[in-house]
Amino acid sequence: MDSLLKEAAALVREAQRVLVFTGAGLSTESGIPDFRSPGGVWDKYDPSDFYFDRFLSDEKAREKYWQMSTEFYRTMKDAQPNRAHIAIRELEDMGKLLAVVTQNIDALHQKAGNSPEKIIEIHGTAFSVSCLSCGKKYDRDLIEERLKSGVKVPYCDDCGGILKPDTVSFGQAMPQDKMEQAFRYARECDLCMALGSSLVVYPAASIPIHASDSGAKLIIINRDKTPLDDRAALVINFSAGKALGTIIDMLRSSGNN
């Protein structure tokens, strides 16, 4: 393991424009269960109940969605960044970070101190809510207060439209502007680090592929194997927090800042 981490530190040291791609494995180290893992959300709920078209067409589906979403949000709201999030912030401090493209909706990169303009949340964020009709935005906690007071399904104050957290549901279109931005950074980076992602969810997993196809070296740090391991210059099957934290410590001890 030490030799792999030293090799990874050398690749990061040589890089000028690092694109970090993060998945649910990063958040589990902060106590947020992966949707798909044992004990995760899909152990308690049926994913087919939460497709976007059902949310739009069925009041009962919306009620069930808010029940699930509120339960998950409470866990996320209290979660704190772990060593991996802090290490990514330290990459920015070193001037090496091009951007963070994250599949996570938990705002932990913001809590860790990364610049908001460097964070691309391709699956959205759970911390705000929008009206699907007029676009009015609400702070998530304001909507949670309404739900706590007994409201089952919240609606827009201005137009009566359907409210939904600013996250991407099954069957909902990905945010085009964010995806275009992510692919642009994938073309520009010279190193892509995929952290805590199974790399099986598309189109998100296309981003590290695009980086690799554009000439960037790829480092994958994940507890389990991924379908993109053969593309990587380096694969580290280990905790993202421990691995990336050690890599940053190696860079600092060698005088890279």
Q: Which residues pair with 101 in a beta bridge?
A: 21, 120
Select from 72, 60, 20 the least CA-distant residue to 207: 20
* Residue 205 main-chain phi, psi, to 5 deg: -65, -10
Distance CA 243, CA 223 (A): 10
* Burial 153-167, CB ≥16 within 10 A → b, else e: bbebeeeebbbbbbb
**Residue 197 amino acid letter:** S
Does the active-site annotation cover 210?
no
3-state helix, strand, coil in the chain (%, to 5): 45, 20, 35
Q: Helices marked H in 149-205 — which ranges? A: 176-188
Distance CA 255, CA 257 (A): 6
Instruction: Establish whether the linkage from the previous residue to 116 is cis, with ω within 30° of 0.
Output: no
Distance CA 12, CA 85 (A): 16
Residue 45 neighbours by CB distance under 10 Å: 17
Residue 125 neighbours by CB distance under 10 Å: 19
- Reading the block at residue 163, the tokens are 């409210």
Catalytic residue among 85, 109, 123, 210: 123
Query: What DSSP designation does 118 have?
Result: G
Positions marked catalytic: 123
